Structure 1
């Protein structure tokens, strides 16, 4: 997963207030705005106890709950610095718990985790309920959306809508297929999910460009899509649950190959920190452990990261602070333009929950 979406945040100086809050507005909540306000009060007290300045707290307060137009269950990640909003991101799912932190580095790892698996896809729903013949009356209606899962749950992608007379469907399906190919190409789609009437969608699939036909997965039914949410959301949730994006899978395969031959890979926190210090990391692999007790020492620059305070000071770094390891690693990855791959522990256990694929092998490590 590329972390370029965080670059604007790290260009700003800290300290940062980082807030994760459930801002769901669904039918199960009688007064969602009152519930959000109550949760925010608890987080405000937590920020004050950590020494957050009044301007930063005011900036968060002016942003929390501003996503009233987003339906269903979801959350917000809010980052402020020096009394200004530094980054606002809608979360596809509510955070496991509401949290607030004030410190030198922003607490970005929970946001990164919610961006995973980051699968670029195209969803297509073919609406038709008439007789399966091109001489029937009525129309075939097409809905399509290109997006990245799971972000399209709260930030829908580009939507295509067409309504075609049944008699023209065979010809029009080819034209729609070429239009879909253009949308798919823009985001390098890896999966095309097609739902709806079996006969009508079959005509469309057969007339899709060859570049898309091999990526098609058909799903039964569709489920109604809630306005403002992802097209075919329920079907996509079942299809993509536990799946990695193809790009991340390729990085993991490369890591495993290098590990098997003792090449450009390493495991453990110390090895990861050493590689990040030298800008050698191509991708970092992480078992997601929100409760991880590990901490690291950091300086003002992304590559200034170490296991011990004295190590940083020996390099001439004067301003050093101890931070949570995940916050320090996230900043180092963004600053060195390395990628992050979240790997379920059940699929691959990593020493201390961390592994790295190097940009190149260290010749000094070979005998």
Structure 2
């Protein structure tokens, strides 16, 4: 994925020059007691942040932001960032983070947010029946840091259930009428939606006859020479109404599964490329070599495993994202030097370098679950 989508988060934090509290939490609301459990888990993270010196104004801002979206069915998580009593960003994730965690560092720890974004593709969802069609186009972006909650990826499929919360960038085209009368216009709507968000996948659900008819109309355009065409995926289900939570949740599950399959294929391809480049001495593996590649300005892509429970620590400079070291003495003389988990600090260097990112799928045999492609 392109890390420019989260660059503004780091820029906002740098402009404040204050420690950044980064919170990543499972906020799935699957029963009546879940909100209480989320509150208890947030309190535990809050106490940890306070013990590490987080100021009360920043904690109060987080108190107001943390908690997820009760009306959002299915799995969800959130990444929340705050510093100096200000909210830098609050993002609903399409899937919970691998574990609840919070950190207080001179820079954001955005790895959980990036992992979630890396599982998304810009895509179009088409739901048809005998009475009409809905065409929804979904970009993938973390948006600008803002005090408003942002939603990206598949969480937007249930936007009709949300009491509030922006759906910036999402386009809905709705057509009503007998399929024979609207089929050509729906096909044009799909092609326009694909162009609008640069869709890599078109997911179609609904009436079987309409599905085949729509595929016949759009497939020739997808096979035309030029850009790589999006995948066309047919899924079971129907055209849900905004007032049917069960149908909307079922649609989300189906689209999530299609996106997971696509992300898995992409991650495996990136890992194979990494292994090939490693054999040609055009890649680095392990935290030490990867940090060195970014410090020397040679890295063009960062690969990280999502499971970083045993992540080694690195030393970094708050003033220079390229300054990374495995030992504190290497940064002697830098008054802004600090230590943190390798994943968060490597990601910060990758964002500053304009590098690409890909998750390393499990199981893997990459030392430290970290690597880089080299220029």
When normalised by structure 2's length, the TM-score is: 0.81
The aligned runs of 1:143-222 (5 Å cut-off) are 143-147=134-138, 151-156=152-157, 157-168=170-181, 172-208=182-218, 210-212=220-222, 215-222=231-238
1:230, CA displacement in angstroms?
A: 7.7
Contact 1:24–1:94 (CA under 8 A) maintained in structure 2? yes
Which piece of structure 1 moves more, 78-87 or 91-100? Answer: 91-100
From 14, 21, 38, give the equivalent of 1:17.
21
Is 2:103 the partner of 1:112?
no
Secondary structure of the residue that 2:177 maps to in structure 1? strand
1:183-211 deviation line (CA, Å, top 9, x unaligned): 11122222222221111221111112623
> How many Å apart are 1:276 and its aligned residue?
0.3
Task: Give me the whole-angstrom Cα distance separating, in 1, the residues matched to 2:107 and 2:178.
Answer: 57
Q: CA separation in 2, counterparts of 1:358 and 1:323?
A: 24
Q: Distance in 1 between matches of 2:75 and 2:274?
A: 36
Q: Structure 2: state its 5+ residue gaps.
A: 141-150, 158-169, 224-228
Residues 68, 78 of structure 2: 8 Å contact kept:
no
Between 1:70-79 and 1:249-258, the stretch displaced more is 249-258
Q: Which has the greater radius of gyration?
A: 1
Paired position in structure 2 for 1:29: 32
Task: Write out aligned runs for 1:20-59 (5 A).
Answer: 20-26=24-30, 28-30=31-33, 32-59=34-61
CA contact (8 A) 1:298 1:312 kept: yes
> Which blocks of at least 5 consecutive residues in structure 1 are unaligned?
129-139, 360-367
Q: 2:363 aligned with 1:326, yes or no? A: no
What CA distance in whole angstroms lies between the structure 1 residues aligned with 2:184 and 2:371? 46
Matches within 5 A, 1:226-237: 226=245, 232-237=251-256
Write the mapping of 1:57-68 to structure 2, written as runs, cut at 5 A.
57-65=59-67, 67-68=69-70
Q: Which residue does the alignment assign to 2:285?
A: 267
Deviation at 1:176, TM superposition (A): 1.8
Total equivalences in the alignment: 339
By how many angstroms is 1:99 displaced? 2.4
Q: Does 1:126 align with 2:128?
A: yes
The structure carrying a bigger helix percent of its residues is 2
Alpha-carbon distance in structure 1 between the residues aligned to 2:312 and 2:47:
25
State how far apart, in whole Å, the 2-side matches of 1:252 and 1:211 are.
Answer: 31
Asked if the contact 2:115/2:359 (under 8 Å) is kept, the reply is yes
Q: How far off is 1:229 after superposition?
A: 6.3
- Report if the CA contact (8 A) 1:25-1:71 is conserved: yes
Instruction: Report how far residue 161 of structure 1 moved.
Output: 1.5
- Matched residues in 2 for 1:17 and 1:199: separation? 52
Superimposed CA distance per residue, residues 165-186 of structure 1 (whole angstroms, 9 cap, x where no aligned partner): 2442xxx322221221111112
Tell me how large the CA RMSD over aligned residues is. 2.8
The answer as to 2:299 corresponding to 1:289 is no
Q: Are the counterparts in 1 of residues 135 and 172 from structure 2 also a CA contact under 8 Å?
A: yes
Deviating more after overlay: 264-273 vs 59-68: 59-68
Q: Confirm or deny that 1:5 pairs with 2:21.
A: no
